[in-house]
Amino acid sequence: MFNGNPKPGKQGKEMTKAELIDAVSQKAGVSKADAERTISEFFDLVVSSAMQGDKVAWPGFGSFSTSKRKARIGRNPQTGAPVQVKASTAMKFSSSSTLKAQLNPNR
C-alpha cells in the first residue's frame, strides 16, 4: 500500500495525504471521498478546539493541545544580528503511555 521514499536523515517513510486517504478508505471500507471528508473534519475539529484553548485527547493514542511561546530576542543565523521574535501559540502533540509502549516494546 504505502510506497513512499525515505527522506535523508529521517527514520522510515513519509506517507502522503493521498496514501493516507487510500489506506483509511480501504481499512474502513468506505469511499476515498468519505475518508478524506472524515479526516479533514477531524483536523478542522482539532484546530478549532486548539484555537479555543481546549485539549483533544484520544485514549491510547495521545492528545493535541497548544503551548504559548513568549516573545524573545533571536539571532539571524546569517548575520548574527538580533531579531525580535513575536509571542506565538504552537500546536503540541503528546503521545500516550500506551502508544509509547507500542513504539518501544523492549523497554
Q: Which domains does the chain have, with CATH numbers?
A: 1-54 (no CATH), 60-107 (4.10.520.10)
Asked if residues 50 and 64 have their Cβ atoms less than 8 Å apart, the reply is yes
Classify 48 as helix, strand or coil.
helix
pTM to 2 decimal places: 0.72
Cell of 81: 544580528
pLDDT higher at 107 or 48:
48
Cell of 11: 527514520
- For residue range 14-59, list pLDDT tens digits in order: 999 999 999 999 999 999 999 999 999 999 999 999 999 999 999 9
CB atoms under 10 Å from CB of 92, counted, come to 12
Asked if residues 85 and 71 have their Cβ atoms less than 8 Å apart, the reply is yes
What is the pLDDT at residue 48?
Answer: 96
User: What integer best gives the mean pLDDT of the chain?
Assistant: 91
Cβ within 8 Å of residue 86, ≥6 positions away: 71
What is the pLDDT at residue 3?
Answer: 53
